[in-house]
């Protein structure tokens, strides 16, 4: 026991101690964030080839008092590990559905669609389908205007169950997009397996599309493939006119990125969408 104690002490150095403490502090602050109303959704416009905004992706932000806006990259991984992503994901779904319903009451926003990110842990909850259905019913939002963005990590386990859940949600009218498409290991096999409606070309391919021949080739291949499979394609991370033009010329007509509009809180968003 003495040896074990000494070993623990040796491995458990001050740096690790600090890391563990700051992780625990982050976890407890995140747990409180939901209760204190510090979480917020930003909305980023999705634009067609005519420059018309047809929808938005809901992106989570944490407004920490004294620290400002925290990016989801800094807390989603921890939320996933600790299971906090479950109540947070539920809050995101409720809030996004309520916003979708609110858009219905203004003719300028009536036809907008909402894309919501769903993490693997959330999707694999036994009552996930019922939760989405409950959010839709509570809000009164039209399921045909709701799109769920899944990443490949969702499909890594129990693909049959994933397909069956997707089909249950599709029966309600909900549609699906494969996020970060092309970055995983077996993207192609999922295309055959999953009842997807849309592929979202990852921003890592879009970034150098106009200068890197392999990125250009990959994007062209994704576009050709999705066309023959009858899938809609959207490109994310579109920052320059050059990227937009390349995508357009190669058959991608739906865009998301700083060129078209940054993620914004709803108050600012409504104003920018009217322009
Ligand atoms: P994602 O789903 O791939 O979202 C796209 C990210 O790209 C967003 O980062 C967005 O702000 C950013 N982005 C948009 N346009 C551009 C552009 O032109 N250039 C560049 N470089 N980036 C752009 P964000 O908002 O920081 O979100 C990061 C990730 O956090 C998301 O990646 C998603 O995986 C996750 N996330 C965000 N909100 C939620 C949520 O409600 N639930 C879950 N489970 N995950 C979320
Ligand atoms: Ca996404
Ligand atoms: Ca993405
Ligand atoms: Ca991503």
pLDDT tens digits for range 56-110: 999 999 999 988 999 999 999 999 999 999 999 999 999 999 999 999 999 999 9
CA 12 to chain CA centroid, nearest Å: 36
pTM of the model: 0.93
Task: Tally the C-alpha atoms within 13 A of residue 242's C-alpha that lie toward its C-beta.
Answer: 8
| 3-class SS of residue 3 | helix
Q: Specify the pLDDT at position 115.
A: 98
Ligand 1: which of 63, 179, 236, 257 to mutate, most ligand atoms within 8 Å of CB? 236
Residues, CB-to-ion distance under 5 Å, ligand 2: 117, 149, 179
Does position 179 have pLDDT exceeding 80, yes or no? yes
Of residues 246 and 155, which shows the higher confidence score? 246
**How far apart, in whole angstroms, are the C-alpha atoms of residue 166 and residue 172?**
10
**How far apart, in whole angstroms, are the C-alpha atoms of residue 151 and residue 180?**
7
**Cβ-contact 90, 131 below 8 angstroms:** yes
Cα of 110 vs centre of ligand 4, distance in Å, is 28
Rounded to the nearest integer, the mean pLDDT of the chain is 92
Nearest residue CA, atom 11 of ligand 1?
Answer: 263
Cα of 202 vs centre of ligand 3, distance in Å, is 5
Question: What mean pLDDT do residues 199-203 have?
Answer: 95
ipTM of the shown complex: 0.97
Cα of 57 vs centre of ligand 2, distance in Å, is 7
Counting beta carbons within 10 angstroms of the beta carbon of residue 27, is it exposed (0 to 12), middle (13 to 18) or buried (19 or more)? middle
Cα of 59 vs centre of ligand 2, distance in Å, is 8
Nearest residue CA, atom 17 of ligand 1?
Answer: 237
**Cβ-contact 162, 188 below 8 angstroms:** no
72 alpha carbon, closest ligand = 1
| 3-class SS of residue 57 | strand
Cα of 260 vs centre of ligand 3, distance in Å, is 16
Query: Is residue 200 within a helix (H) or strand (E), and if so which, with residue range?
Result: strand 198-201
Question: 190: pLDDT confidence band, cut at 50, 70 and 90?
Answer: confident
**How far apart, in whole angstroms, are the C-alpha atoms of residue 210 and residue 1?**
62
Cα of 263 vs centre of ligand 3, distance in Å, is 13
Does position 239 have pLDDT exceeding 50, yes or no? yes
Residues with CB under 6 A from ligand 1: 44, 59-60, 71-73, 76, 89, 92, 117, 119, 179-180, 203, 236-239, 257-258, 263
């Amino acid at each position: 026991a003495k040896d074990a104690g000494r070993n623990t002490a040796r491995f458990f150095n001050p740096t690790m101690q600090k890391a563990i403490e700051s992780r625990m502090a982050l976890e407890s602050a995140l747990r409180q964030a939901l209760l204190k109303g510090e979480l917020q959704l930003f909305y980023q416009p999705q634009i067609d080839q005519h420059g018309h905004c047809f929808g938005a992706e809901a992106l989570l932000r944490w407004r920490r008092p004294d620290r400002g806006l925290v990016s989801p990259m800094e807390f989603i991984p921890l939320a996933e590990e600790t299971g906090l992503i479950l109540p947070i994901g539920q809050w995101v779904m409720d809030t996004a559905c309520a916003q979708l319903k609110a858009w219905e009451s203004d003719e300028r926003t009536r036809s907008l669609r909402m894309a919501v990110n769903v993490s693997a842990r959330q999707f694999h909850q036994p009552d996930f389908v019922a939760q989405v259905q409950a959010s839709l019913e509570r809000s009164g939002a039209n399921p045909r205007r709701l799109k769920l963005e899944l990443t490949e990590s969702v499909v890594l386990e129990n693909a049959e169950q994933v397909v069956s859940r997707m089909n249950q949600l599709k029966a309600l009218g909900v549609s699906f997009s494969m996020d970060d498409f092309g970055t995983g290991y077996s993207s192609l096999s999922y295309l055959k397996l999953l009842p997807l409606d849309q592929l979202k070309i990852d921003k890592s391919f879009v970034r150098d599309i106009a200068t890197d021949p392999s990125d250009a080739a990959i994007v062209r291949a994704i576009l050709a493939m999705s066309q023959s499979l009858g899938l809609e394609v959207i490109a994310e991370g579109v920052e320059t006119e050059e990227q937009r033009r390349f995508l357009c010329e190669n058959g991608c007509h739906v865009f998301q990125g700083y060129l078209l509009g940054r993620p914004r809180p709803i108050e600012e968003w409504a104003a920018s969408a009217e322009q």
